Amino acid sequence: MSSSIDEHHLQQYTSYAAQAGDWGHWVVRELGSGRYPNCKAVHTNMCPGAPPEGTSLTEKEKKGIARAEWFLGKPLNETHMGYAIEMRTRPQTIGVAFNDNPVGIMMFFGEKYNELADPSLGTATLVNEQWLHDLCTTLSLYFFTPPSVMTSMLSYYNNVRHEMYTKFDAKEENLIRVPLGVSTFPYDAFPAPKSGVETTCTDLKFFRDHDHGGHFACMECPEEMVRDMREFFGKWYKV
């Protein structure tokens, strides 16, 4: 992941913090690894981590792990991960198919919005005007900038496989070493327990396990996300 980061550009900032989820989590993980001394703090809303064996888990934490197993699946190729297997093995095949196919792009994103958002919030539906607007905006970003929908799939081809997330994050060279804040949501693809997150870092300062929300937390729960980031960065981002 480090090769994709413009180190020269970042060096122009004497101090900065970073926030991301999904694939961006691995970007900010690299930035917070200690190899970029000007990065002072990191917050993420996805932080895959497996609790140490024998750890006592709450019922809510057990549900979170079950949620991850439901999404990732056992075996992997019989669940929701079919799209990822295609992208990480034949990205140009599916990429070319999507490149001039706005309906296909919308179907792909719509499926993810539908299954990885909190259904109780009522946001991830096509009858929700704001959600539909966001979906069309995302579609446009990819469709009107070819071949970006195809090149976006290379993140699956070039990076860590889903079934290796927790082991990758727990490796010594991949630990986040700056102050870390984590917000987790029950309908995310991988709502890790605090004990799991702690295996992926050396300085966890903030952890909040929300009762609602999903993978698209910034759209589903914008107020909660802003509140968490202000609280974490306000206390732990030291210029």
The reply to whether 65 falls in a domain is no
Angle at 209 between CA 208 and CA 215, to 5 degrees: 110
Q: Is residue 211 part of a domain?
A: yes
Domain boundary (129, 158, 187) is at 158
Question: Does a structural domain hold residue 13?
Answer: yes
> Do the domain assignments include residue 64?
no
* Mean per-residue pLDDT over the chain, rounded: 91
Please indicate, yes or no, if residue 53 is contained in any of the structural domains: yes
Where in the sequence is the domain holding 25, given as residue range(s)?
2-57+165-236
Percent of the chain with pLDDT over 70: 92
Residue type for position 131 = W
The answer to whether residue 210 is domain-embedded is yes
Tens-place pLDDT, residues 151-206? 999 999 999 988 899 999 999 999 999 999 999 999 999 999 999 999 999 999 99
Q: Is the pLDDT of residue 2 over 60?
A: no
With 0.85 as the threshold, say if the pTM is over it: yes
Residue 142 located in a structural domain: yes
> Would 66 be classed as within a structural domain?
no
pLDDT tens, residue by residue, 50-100: 999 999 999 999 999 999 988 887 665 567 888 888 999 999 999 999 999
DSSP 39-70: EEEEEES----PPPTT----HHHHHHHHHHHH
